[in-house]
Structure 1
Amino acid sequence: MISPSGPGAQRNASPYLHGREAAAVACVLESGQYGHTEVTEEFERRVAEFLGVRDAVAVMSGTAALHTALLTAGIRPGHEVVVPAMTFCATVQAILAVGATPVFADIDPATLCVTDQLVMDAVTANTAAVMPVLFGGRAVDLTPIRKDLDARRIAVIEDAAHAFGSRNGARRVGATGDLTCFSFGPIKNLTCGQGGILIPRTEAEADMIRSIRMLGVVQSQAERGRTTNYRVEGFGLRYQMSGINAAIGLAQLDHFEEAETTRRNLWLAYRRSLAGLDGVQLIDVDPDRSVPHLCQVLVAHRDEVHEQMTARGIGVGVHYPPNHLQPAFARWRRDLPATERVGLEVLTLPFHQHLTEKDIDQVVAVLGQALKTVGASGTRS
C-alpha cells in the first residue's frame, strides 16, 4: 500500500491549496459583499493578463461556461455540434441545454484528443460548431481545417477545462482566437473551489456573455446596485462567479507558476518510472507545452487492474466512460472504434500536487504487480 507523503497522496486527485486562500476568503466575508463583486472583476482582469487576452468573463462553473459559450455563438435547435465522445458528460449536457444535437467524433488513442481529420469526418451540412476537448491539458490544433470551418461559418468552442496554463504553439490556450471555456473546479490546475471563465473573441461577445450570466440584465457601472433601474434585454441565467470563489482563484493565480512546474515535473516523473513497464501505453499530454491535468495509461484487462490497485490502496480512476455509450445519449451513438477501445483500457493514475516522486514510483510498482497478477490469472475484461 502506498505511504502518502501529503494530504490525500493515495487519492486519484486531490485539491491543492497554497495557504493564502483562507485569508483571501476571510477578506471577502468581512466586506459583507458575497456575490459578484470587485474581487470577481479583479480575477477576470488577472486571468486575462495571464493568458495575454483582451477580456475574460467569470462564471459559476465550467459547465456554465460551455453553456454560455454555445448561447453566445448562436447555437440552437436544429444545429449539430461535433464533440468527442471521450469527455466528461458536462460537455454533452451543455449541447443538449441549448437544444442542439451532439455528433460524436472519434479520437486519437495516443492523445485522447480529436484531430483535424476526425473533426471533418463528423461535420455535416447542419454543423454549427465544433467543441474540441483539450484532454489532460493537451492543446488541440485545428489550423489545417480552420479556413474550411470559417467558410462554413462553423464556430470553434474549446472545452479547455483541463488546460488552464497550457500552450498552443507560443501562446497560452485561450489566446488563439476561439471561444474558450475553462473550469476552476476543486481538482483543476487552478481552483476557485468552483467556477469557470470564458474567453470571448470580440467586445460584443464579452457584452453578451456578461448579460447572459446576469439573467439577461444590462446595467451600466453607475446603475449597478440600483435595483429600480435595470433592463432585461435577452435570455439569461444566474451564472455569476461569487467574490468568495474569485478570491480563492486570485490566491491560486499568485502561485500558478509553481503549480505549472510541479505538475509538469510530476508527469515527467511518471514517464520515467513507467518506461520499463511492459504492457502499458502512456497517454501523451505534450508536457513541453502543457500543464498536465491527468496522467493516464492504456492497459489490457483494465477493470481487473483497477480492482487490484484499489485493493492495494491506490486511488486509480477511469476518465471517462465514452459518452456515446451512455444511456442518456444512446440515440446519437456512432461507430467510434478508437474511443470504444480506449474506453475499455484507459486507467487514470493518481495525479496531484501532493504527490512526490517516491509516491509515483510506488504507484508504478503497484501497477506492475497488478499487471502480473491479472496476467497470471488469465482473466479477461
Structure 2
Amino acid sequence: MINSSRPDARRNASPYLYGQEAAAVAQVLESGQYGHTGVTEEFERGIAAFLGVDDAVAVSSGTAALHIALLVAGIGPGDEVIVPSQTFCATVQAIVACGASPRFVEVSPDTLCVESGTVLEAITPATRAVMPVLYGGRAVDLTAAEEVLGERGITVVEDAAHAFGSSLGTQLVGSTGALTCFSFGPIKNLTCIEGGAIVPRTSQEAGVARRLRTLGITQSQAERGRTTTYAVAGFGLRATLSSVHAAVGSVQLEQFPIVAAKRKALWRAYEAELHSMRDVVLVDVDVDRSVPFNCVVRVPERDRVHKVLHAQGLGVGVHYPPNHTQPAFAPWHRPLPVTEMVGGQIMSLPFHPAMDAGDVHQVVSALGRALATVREEAFAAGKTGR
C-alpha cells in the first residue's frame, strides 16, 4: 500500500510548504501589524511582476475575487453569466451574490472546460459576462468567440482558481487580457493558506476592485491614518488579504518554480501509469502549458469504484458534482447531458507535491484492483439475476 512513512501520501490533496513560511509569519506577528499593510502590497507587486502585468489586487479568497470581479464588470440583477456547470459551487455562488443569473453550459468531456462554440450558442440578450473555469489548470481559449463577445460588450471573467502558473500559448494565465481571478487557498498551486487575487485590465478596474474589497472606502489605510474622516463611495465588502496571509504567499511565490515542476512531474507519472489501463480516461490538462492542480479520471461505475477505494483509506474525491443539479441553483436548471454523463464518471486521484512516482504507481495499482472488483461483482450479480 501507500508509503506509511509519509502519511499525507494517501490524501486527495494537501498543502505544500517550503519551510520559510513560519519565519515570515513570525516577522509579521512581531511587527504588531496584522491587517492589510505594506506586506500585502508587496505580495501584490510580486504577483503582478510574476505575471508581467501592471497590477494585481489581493483579496481574502478566490470566491471574493470572483464576486468582486463580477461587480467590477458591472454585473447585477437581470444579467446572465455563462458558466460551466462542471465547477466548484463557489463559481456559481459569486454570480448569485451579484443578483445575476447563471446560464449553465456544457464542457468538453476530454478537458472538462468550456469551448468557444458552446459559449456562442448560449448567448442571450441578457448575457453580460462569460466565466470560463480553467479546470485542473488548463487554460481556456475563447479566441474564436472573442469578436462576438467584444461586439456585444460581454466581459470574460476567468475563474483561474486552479491555474496559477499555467499558460495560454506563450502567455501566462492572468496576462491574456481577461479579468482573471486566482485562488490561494490551502491546497492551491500557490497558497496563502487563504486568499485570492484579481488581475484587472485597467487602472480604473484596479481602483474599483480596491474600493470594493475595503467596504467601499475610497482612502487607503495609510491615508485614513492621516485624517479624521473617510469617504464611503458605495457598496463594498470586507475582503482584504491580511499581512499574515500575504507573508505566506510571498514565500510561496519566490519558491513557485519548485512546486510547478513537482506538479508537472507528478501528472506525467500518472499519465504514464494510466496510459494502457482498461476503462480509464485521463482528463487532459495540457501539461506542457499548465501547472496541474489535480489528476482526474473518468471511470465506469464511479460510485462503486470510489466506495472500494475509500474503504481502503485512499483519498479519492469527486470534483465536482454538477451545479445545475444542485437544489440551490434549481431556478437555473437546464438539461446538460454531457455534463451529467461526465459528472457520474469523474474521480480525482490523490495529487499533491509530497507524492512521488512510487506513490502514483501504488494508487494506479489500487485503482486497477478496484475496477476488477467492481467488474467481478457486476458479473456475479448478472449470473444470479440480482
CA shift in 2, pair 1:256/1:368, >3 Å: same
The residue matched to 1:111 in structure 2 has which SS?
coil
Cα deviation digits, residues 323-371 of structure 1 (max 9, x gap): 0000111121111111000110000000001101000000000000000
Deviation, 1:199, is: 0.1
Which residue of 1 is the match for residue 31 of structure 2? 31
The residue matched to 2:25 in structure 1 has which SS?
helix
Alpha-carbon distance in 2 for matches of 1:123, 1:220 = 39
Could you tell which deviates more after superposition, 332-341 or 4-13?
4-13
Which residue of 2 is the match for residue 64 of structure 1? 64
Aligned length: 380
Which residue of 1 is the match for residue 343 of structure 2? 343
Deviation, 1:222, is: 5.6
Which residue of 1 is the match for residue 95 of structure 2? 95
Q: How does 1:262-301 map to 2 (within 5 A)?
A: 262-301=262-301
Could you tell which deviates more after superposition, 221-230 or 162-171?
221-230
Alpha-carbon distance in 2 for matches of 1:124, 1:276 = 43
Aligned: 1:303 with 2:303? yes
Cα deviation digits, residues 91-145 of structure 1 (max 9, x gap): 0000000100000010000000000011112111110000000000000000011
Which residue of 2 is the match for residue 172 of structure 1? 172
Is the CA contact (8 Å cut-off) linking 1:129 and 1:155 kept in structure 2? yes
The letter for the 1-side match of 2:118 is: L
Which residue of 2 is the match for residue 149 of structure 1? 149
Could you tell which deviates more after superposition, 260-269 or 307-316?
307-316
Alpha-carbon distance in 1 for matches of 2:222, 2:26 = 27
Deviation, 1:182, is: 0.1
Alpha-carbon distance in 2 for matches of 1:181, 1:309 = 34
CA shift in 2, pair 1:351/1:229, >3 Å: same
Which residue of 2 is the match for residue 45 of structure 1? 45
Deviation, 1:313, is: 2.0
TM-score, normalised by the number of residues in structure 2 = 0.97
CA shift in 2, pair 1:138/1:4, >3 Å: farther
CA shift in 2, pair 1:262/1:335, >3 Å: same
The letter for the 1-side match of 2:154 is: I
Alpha-carbon distance in 2 for matches of 1:332, 1:233 = 33
Which residue of 1 is the match for residue 125 of structure 2? 125
Q: How does 1:86-235 map to 2 (within 5 A)?
A: 86-219=86-219, 223-226=223-226, 228-235=228-235
Which residue of 2 is the match for residue 78 of structure 1? 78
Which residue of 1 is the match for residue 15 of structure 2? 15
Cα deviation digits, residues 270-305 of structure 1 (max 9, x gap): 000111210000000000000000100000000110
Alpha-carbon distance in 2 for matches of 1:302, 1:223 = 56
Alpha-carbon distance in 2 for matches of 1:195, 1:322 = 25
Identity of aligned residues (%): 61
Alpha-carbon distance in 1 for matches of 2:161, 2:311 = 30
Is the CA contact (8 Å cut-off) linking 1:87 and 1:322 kept in structure 2? yes
TM-score, normalised by the number of residues in structure 1 = 0.98
Alpha-carbon distance in 2 for matches of 1:101, 1:321 = 19
Alpha-carbon distance in 2 for matches of 1:212, 1:108 = 34
Is the CA contact (8 Å cut-off) linking 1:318 and 1:348 kept in structure 2? yes
The letter for the 1-side match of 2:3 is: S
Which residue of 1 is the match for residue 319 of structure 2? 319
Which residue of 1 is the match for residue 375 of structure 2? 375
CA shift in 2, pair 1:319/1:44, >3 Å: same
Deviation, 1:225, is: 2.0
Which residue of 2 is the match for residue 329 of structure 1? 329
Gaps of 5+ in 1: none
Alpha-carbon distance in 2 for matches of 1:88, 1:267 = 21
Gaps of 5+ in 2: none
The letter for the 1-side match of 2:301 is: H
The letter for the 1-side match of 2:333 is: R
The residue matched to 1:156 in structure 2 has which SS?
strand
Could you tell which deviates more after superposition, 303-312 or 265-274?
303-312
Deviation, 1:7, is: 4.6
| Displaced runs of 4 or more, over 4 A | none
Deviation, 1:3, is: 2.2
Cα deviation digits, residues 46-91 of structure 1 (max 9, x gap): 0000011100000000000000001000001000000000000000
Alpha-carbon distance in 2 for matches of 1:52, 1:4 = 42
The letter for the 1-side match of 2:188 is: K
Cα deviation digits, residues 164-206 of structure 1 (max 9, x gap): 0000110100000110000000000000000000000000000
Aligned: 1:3 with 2:3? yes
The letter for the 2-side match of 1:6 is: R
The residue matched to 1:82 in structure 2 has which SS?
strand
Alpha-carbon distance in 1 for matches of 2:158, 2:4 = 35
Alpha-carbon distance in 2 for matches of 1:193, 1:134 = 21
Alpha-carbon distance in 1 for matches of 2:303, 2:134 = 25
Which residue of 2 is the match for residue 254 of structure 1? 254
